[in-house]
Structure 1
Amino acid sequence: MSKKFRPGVILQVPIDNNTHTYARILTDRNIAFYDYRTAEEITNLKDIISAKILFIICVNETFKNSWEVKGDLELEPSLRRNPLMFICAPYTEDYKIYDNGEIRRNATKEECMGLERVVAWSPERVEGRLLDHYNGHENEWVEAYKIK
């Protein structure tokens, strides 16, 4: 991972033409997105990281060309371990728990309910997810990736 994009780096993520929020790199691809919609430039990074985290997901590497680096703060201990996620092969019920970058074990469908699916989100889909969240709409990709 480039030193510019190391864990702890804070990114500005556009939501629409007038507002943005902030995100933080946790690992080379896992990023936490903060509930901090604003039209203002925020310079106090501690204000940003004190906001609630909306979600943590895996984002493909093209984010490096899409989102502006705003600063860098060492990760708090609580963010050094990623939340559990799940993997399921398409058209199967072969569920697995993904824990901190590794497939750990087989799992039941019920164990995976409510966890994020391991998917490499594109920056555009993340921005759409954020916009839908702030507009109170379901996001088509969140729904597509959910266990049914």
Structure 2
Amino acid sequence: MAQKQALRQGDFLKIGMDDGTFCFARVLHEPYMAFYGLRSEDERPIDEVAQSKVLFKLAVMNRAVTSGRWRVIGNLPLEEELRQPVKSFRQDPITKKLSIYVNGADSSATPEACANLERAAVWDPEHVEDRLRDHFAGVPNKWVESLRFKE
């Protein structure tokens, strides 16, 4: 049985993919994590991971780590950019009105303001792994497509 791990800001995570490679993430402020554009056949030093491009930031179920599915491989203090609040959008299912959600508060928004934001949602680790797999394969991800705002 996997040993439970507590999450700390700045923790680097190793995500085992089904093809034997690894992807990497970083714990921001719970429940948010940043996912890097680095895939490797072996574990990489955290300095190298930190220098990689951040692909996206999502809220993720912490069972990804507490279950032992994703392993903590180190910790560094968060860079200024990663300490910033994560913005996402919400859309009313009936009126279709959009808002930007940050730090627990909503403000009205236009489609243009939401175009590059993630929908406010908490992702399962399996869906994040699908998204990473699709990113590196260069194909659209069904979860991302299903969460886009509707006009």
Please confirm whether the aligned pair reaches a TM-score higher than 0.5, indicating the same fold: yes
Query: Corresponding residue for 1:95?
Result: 98
| Alignment CA distance shift 1:3-1:81 (3 Å) | farther
Contact persistence 2:31–2:59 (CA under 8 A): yes
Contact persistence 1:128–1:139 (CA under 8 A): yes
User: How many correspondences in the alignment?
Assistant: 145
Query: Corresponding residue for 2:84?
Result: 81
Alpha-carbon distance in 1 for matches of 2:123, 2:53: 21
| Alignment CA distance shift 1:3-1:122 (3 Å) | closer
Alpha-carbon distance in 2 for matches of 1:37, 1:91: 40
Q: Any runs of at least 4 consecutive aligned residues in structure 1 with deviations exceeding 3 A, and if so which?
A: none
Secondary structure of residue in 1 paired with 2:6: helix
Alpha-carbon distance in 2 for matches of 1:59, 1:119: 8
Contact persistence 2:22–2:43 (CA under 8 A): no
Query: Corresponding residue for 1:55?
Result: 56
Secondary structure of residue in 2 paired with 1:114: coil
Matches within 5 A, 1:133-144: 133-144=135-146
Alpha-carbon distance in 2 for matches of 1:32, 1:58: 9
> Does residue 147 of structure 2 align to residue 145 of structure 1?
yes
Residue by residue over 1:38-67, the C-alpha shift from the partner in whole angstroms, topping out at 9 and shown as x without a partner, is: 01122x211110000111111122212121
Alignment RMSD:
1.7
Query: Corresponding residue for 1:110?
Result: 112
Identify which of 27, 35, 39 aligns with 2:37.
35
Residue by residue over 1:67-112, the C-alpha shift from the partner in whole angstroms, topping out at 9 and shown as x without a partner, is: 111011100111101342111132431211112x222412123321
Contact persistence 1:15–1:128 (CA under 8 A): no
TM-score (norm 1): 0.90
Q: Alignment identity in percent?
A: 36
> Which structure 1 segments of 5+ residues have no match?
none
Alpha-carbon distance in 2 for matches of 1:15, 1:54: 17
AA partner of residue 72 (structure 1) = N
